[in-house]
Amino acid sequence: MSALLGAAVLALAGPALAQLEGRGFPECHQGPLKNNTVCDTSADPLDRAIALIKTFTLEEKLNNTGSTSPGVPRLGLPAYTWWNEALHGVADSPGVNFSDVGDFSYATSFPEPIVMGAAFDDELIRAVATVVSTEARAFNNFDRAGLDFWTPNINPYKDPRWGRGLETPGEDPFHIASYVHNLIDGLQGGYDPKYKRVVATCKHFVGYDMESWNGNYRYQWDAQISSQDLVEYYMPPFQSCARDSNVGAFMCSYNAVNGRPTCADPYLLNDILREHWGWTEEQQWVTSDCDAVQNVFYPHKFTETREEAVAAALNAGTDIDCGTYYQHHLPAAYEQGLFNESTLDQALVRQYSSLVRLGYFDGMAVPYRNLTFSDVSTPHAQQLAHRAAAEGIVLLKNDGTLPLKIGSDMTIALVGDWANATTQMQGNYEGPAPYLHGPVYGANQTGATVLVANQPGGQGDPTTDNWRPIWEYAEQADVIVYAGGIDLTVAEEGMDRVSIDWTGAQLDVIGQLAMYGKPMFVMQMGDQVDNTPIIQNPNISALIWGGYPGQDGGLALFDIVTGKVAPAGRLPVTQYPAAYISQIPMTDMTLRPNATTGSPGRTYQWYTGEPVFEFGSGLHYTNFSISFANDLPHNHHSSSSCYNISDLTGDCNEQYKDRCAFATIPLDVHNTGAVTSDYVALGFLTGCHGPQPYPRKRLRAYKRLHGIAPGSTQTAAVNLTLGSLARVDDYGNTVLYPGDYALMIDTQPLAMMNFSLTGEAVTLDYWPQPPVKRVQENGYWVGGYGSTQEEGLLADGTVPGVM
């Protein structure tokens, strides 16, 4: 029986390993399914999916558990590829098929999320996501993509060495949670629409932020995280996805958390994700990261057999295996009695009820079925790509040289390995763009003569033989621009950084260019580096961070330089000094500073050192003053600055107490300068409340105001909830504590409001307690010397505070 079943499954699985042919939509009008409830548009999506799965044989069920599903030809159910990517635009991936020329040969390529995160503009994110999902639907209508997309990456970016930090909106969990809430709205076409535009997938759940540091590979890494850190830092973006945004899918990660691979951990996938956060609709599913199910066996060595590995993942709640391990090993696991057929049915029902919600079986009744290539890269999409880049660019230094008027009577020397960038600007998870306007394109739009020296190489060879044109062009130029930094040759998926400084060759060239006595500024591209030498050099007029700005990034950069657009972006991460990497290993998942291990702490909330630029840094071409329009609102329970906790919680009728409103505080932002500009209002909380140590401050609200004219005022609403004020205890519970609080606006700050809470502490959310702690014992796959902090471990080898 086992051999027969396995042969039957593999016979079907074989053709599914390549890019699927025969994709499309099921035929509900005249095909074999026409009388099945799955084709009844008046029926409930769950009932429709159950009726479909009931028609599958066991072999057909097992064969459709992978990311490349062959469907069921005898039922007229087409093949389907679940793995589609659209991180910042429809992207190359197994399920997405770009044509070589003509229609569907490109899609709008927005900036990487790290740049869009720097805009701190939730309305922008919703608009970008709407364009991306609209273009994705157009691709799907012509059999060039699926309907679910494995985006966004919302792991908080706490360590500057992480190779995938560019894929995230930044380091702050509140910021990411708000960002993704708006992104999902745009991608899925609302939080509960009749037909979803696409299904978004929040990844990577959870504790994943390392690729290959010092011999520690993501496939084998066991992240030891305390319940306090898990709830306070690593979980909020995912809670926003599941509980607050009704996202359609999750992806479990390669790593283990506290000894258990996430894709085989029912505590994470069931107790937290589905039960605690109420993510229980059958149309919601979990996929593994690609081949993470295989990793459960090796190198995690979590199970003794391959059959136990696939059963552990399926039973834990991983519905789709990105790979072939399910299809290959589930038949034998079933015969060994390691899972029930009802569990398999549940996984398939989740997948196909999701497709029902996407209108997969409903033909032209779905409004998105009318989209064509004319809806791809529209003038609106192109303008939005430029806006997204311009809003995310951050001005970090300016001696008054910028904005700079540049005309046809001037010459620009454009130097550096980003000078003539094209695909560099897209970063990773990209697809072909309609055009790529790099810095040289942007410089040419000023009308000036542009001399381009695409040297020195960003990380490479400091061979001076290629530098001679640099000095010739600098001599001829009126303005010198250096565009460089890092790119995907330094940090990307699978590769963490080994340093966070500029290369010697680049700093050498920059320093020499600054000696010409001409207006000279630096465009620092890619991810963050220690910009101390740039800041301290008085002959460098300005420093701009451009990141990975997408298809129109070069034009956006020079629009900032010339003042066509006023800068208002803010750093979404901390820029650390280069020595930071010697003070804490990437394997240390703790946030708080630790005198025993020598950790200076992580992120702006806990870092005790002096950052090069702190989270939220960003200059303008004008000045702003901030004032509170009025005091904190109060009612018969409170004075204007003192609130009783029992009164606040007693007035709360929300199912989740952390979502109950505390106050909406109007904030007047006045432009006291001479340039019309956007302004990002950042609202931080600080004070003495909850468990010690206290964080330096915590971002609790933000709002981007647009086009504030000189001498005028706009008002931003700072919305605070009870959850905004709460802290997390050692057990992961979210608690509203008595104590002193202060609301600070901006990083300086520009305004501050004090208040206090009195009475007994009240728990807003009781965190499900984890199973008995476990440390992954693996004597074969180990990290390199110094990759763990033995001083910080308990006698049993575990991290203090891990429950």
Q: What is the DSSP letter of 797?
A: S
Cis before 206 (ω within 30)? yes
Dihedral angle, C-alpha 704, 698, 627, 670, nearest 10 °: -30
Size of the chain, expressed as the number of residues it contains: 803
Supply angle C-alpha 262, 267, 268, rounded to 5: 45
Strand segments (E) across 337-459? 394-398, 411-415, 449-453
In sequence order, which residues have a C-beta less than 8 Å from that of residue 57 and are 6 or more positions away?
A: none
Note if the bond before 299 is cis, omega within 30 degrees: yes
Nearest to 480 by CA among 553, 395, 541, 555: 541
Q: Are strands 762-765 and 734-736 parallel, antiparallel or unpaired?
A: antiparallel
Cβ neighbours of residue 26 closer than 8 Å, sequence gap 6 or more: 33, 38, 39, 76, 77, 78, 360, 361
Rounded Cα–Cα distance for residues 320 and 64 (Å): 9
Do residues 264 and 312 touch, judged by C-beta distance below 8 A? yes
Residue 216 contacts residue 226 (beta carbons within 8 Å): no
What is the sign of the dihedral through the CA atoms of 313, 319, 321 and 322?
negative
DSSP-assigned beta bridge partners for residue 256: 222, 261
The residues that bridge with 708 in the sheet, in sequence order, are: 677
Residues ≥6 apart with Cβ < 8 Å to 538: 399
Distance CA 623, CA 620 (A): 7
What are the catalytic residues? 289
Buried b (16+ CB within 10 A) or exposed e, 270-300: bbbbbebbebebbbbbbbbbbebbbbbbbbb
3-state secondary structure of 467: coil
- Residue 111: DSSP 8-state: P
- Two tokens, residue 376: 């791809």
User: From CA 194, how far away is CA 256, in angstroms rounded?
Assistant: 36
CA distance 109 to 432: 8
Cβ contact 656:732 at 8 Å? no
What angle is formed at CA 365 by the lines to CA 359 and CA 371, rounded to 5 degrees? 80
Residue 803 has which token pair? Answer: 């429950």
